[in-house]
Amino acid sequence: MRAALDAVLAAGVERGAVPGIAAVVVDRAGARYEGASGVRRAGSSEEMTVDSVGALFSMTKALVGAAAMQLVERGVLDLDAPAGEVCPELDDVVVLCGFDADDQPITRPAASRVTLRQLLTHTSGFSYEMWDADLLRWHAVTGTPTTASGDRAALSTPLMFDPGTRWRYGIGIDWVGALIEEVTGSRLGDRLAEHLTEPLGMVDTTFHPEGPMLDRRCAMHMRAGDGALMPFDMPLAAPDGFQSGGGGMHGTMADYGRFIAMLLGDGALDGTRVLEAGTVEQMLTNQIGDLRVEPLVSCQPTVTLDAEFFPGQPKTWGLTFQLNEEPAATGRPAGTAMWAGLANSYFWIDRANGIGGASLTQVLPFADPGAFALWADVETAVYRAL
C-alpha cells in the first residue's frame, strides 16, 4: 500500500493535478499509511507533509455532527424535536417561492418546524448560494451576507422547500453549531476541543490556527484558465468571530485520520470513548428514508464546478455523511460513508472492511477535474492493495 500510494501522490503532483497533497489511511487501531507529496505553496520549496495545516471547509461538518450526537446521547439535544425550541430564530424561517415583478422575494410559512435530524441530513430546506441560483438571487436583492463573508448573518436565509421533503446541500450544520453553543453555553470550538478533538489527540484541529500551526499552513490555490495553479493567502477568521460549524475548521490529515479511526472503532480510539457504538451506527446509516442525494449544480464556477460523487448511482445520507447504495468503481462497498471539503479534500469511512482514509489539498474550484481524479486514484490504490 505504501509504495502504491506514494506513487499515486507523486504522479498527481507531477501532472499538475495539485501543488501538494497529504493523505492518510487508517483502520480501527489507527494509521496504516501517512504520506505526502509536493509543496504547500506552488512555486515554493515548502514540502507538503502529513502535518501540513489546511482549511477543512465542509470536512468540519462531521466533527460538529459528532459533537451534536454527544449531546443527543446525554439528552441535551433531541434529533426530532423542533430546533426552534433551542434557537427561536429557526421558528421564524419562511420558504422562498420566487420573485415578483419588482424582483422582490415571495415567501410563505414553512409547513413544519425544522428539526436537528433535518439539519444534520440536509433535508431542512436550507441551501448554499453557490449551488442554488434562487438563493444567490435572494442574497443579491436583499443584501444579506453570503457564507463567503464569514458572518453569522449569512445564516438568516429562507428555506428553499418545506422541511423533510427533499435533500439539498446547505447551511444546516452551521445551525447545528449554533444549537450546540446555545445548549452548552460554550463557544463551538471550545466544546469540540474539550469533548472531541483533545480526547482523540487531534492537537492540530481548530477554528483558529496559531503558533506552530501557522508555520505549517498551506496556501490556497486557484486554477487559472491555462490550468496553472495560482497561490494566495486565504484570510483567517477573527478569533472572536463566528465559528462556522459547516466549514470553519483548519486541521491536518494526521488528525483527521484519528477521527475516522474512532468511527471505525465504534466511537473509541486508543481506549478513549467519545461516542457510543449505537450512535456511530446511527450516524453511518441512512437517515433520509426514500429521499436521495441530488447533484450539486454550480452557480459560482470560480468557487465550485458541478459536482456529484459516483454519478448515476443512488446516494443516501446519514448524520453528516453521504452513503453510496451500490459498490463503486474505486473498490468501496455499498454503505461506505464519505464527504469532502471545498478545496478538494476528501474522506471515506468503510466499516465493512474496517478501512478509511482522507486527503488534503488546497485547490479551488471544488470538483476540479485534476484534484477530483487524484482523490479517486488514492482510494482505488488502497482497495487494490487490500
Mean pLDDT of 322-336: 97
Q: What is the pLDDT of residue 377?
A: 98
Pair 322, 337: CB distance under 8 Å: yes
Mean pLDDT of 205-228: 95
Mean pLDDT of 379-384: 98
Left, alpha or beta for 238 (phi > 0: left; psi -120 to 50: alpha)?
beta
Cα–Cα dist 137/99, whole Å: 9
Q: What is the pLDDT of residue 301?
A: 96
Q: What is the pLDDT of residue 254?
A: 98
pLDDT digits (tens, 9 = 90+) for 85-126: 999 999 999 999 999 999 999 999 999 999 999 999 999 999
Q: What is the pLDDT of residue 311?
A: 95
Pair 344, 280: CB distance under 8 Å: no
The band of 281, judged by pLDDT with boundaries at 50, 70 and 90, is: very high
Q: Between 253-264 and 60-73, two packed helices, what is the crossing angle to 10 degrees?
A: 40
Q: Is the pLDDT of residue 54 over 90?
A: yes
Strands (E), the chain: 20-27, 30-38, 54-55, 94-99, 105-109, 220-223, 229-232, 250-251, 268-269, 272-273, 315-317, 322-324, 337-341, 345-350, 355-360, 363-364
Percent of the chain at pLDDT > 90 equals 98
Mean pLDDT of 135-156: 94
Helix count and strand count (H, E) for the chain:
10, 16
Enter the DSSP assignment of 333. Answer: P
What pairing do the DSSP bridges indicate for beta strands 345-350 and 337-341? antiparallel
Cα–Cα dist 245/276, whole Å: 22
Cα–Cα dist 29/359, whole Å: 19
pLDDT digits (tens, 9 = 90+) for 298-315: 999 999 999 999 999 999
The band of 327, judged by pLDDT with boundaries at 50, 70 and 90, is: very high
Q: Which sequence positions are flagged as catalytic?
A: 58, 61, 169
How big is the chain, counted in residues? 386
Mean pLDDT of 181-202: 98
Mean pLDDT of 15-35: 97
Q: Is the pLDDT of residue 166 over 90?
A: yes
Q: What is the pLDDT of residue 225?
A: 85
Q: Is the pLDDT of residue 37 over 90?
A: yes
The band of 36, judged by pLDDT with boundaries at 50, 70 and 90, is: very high
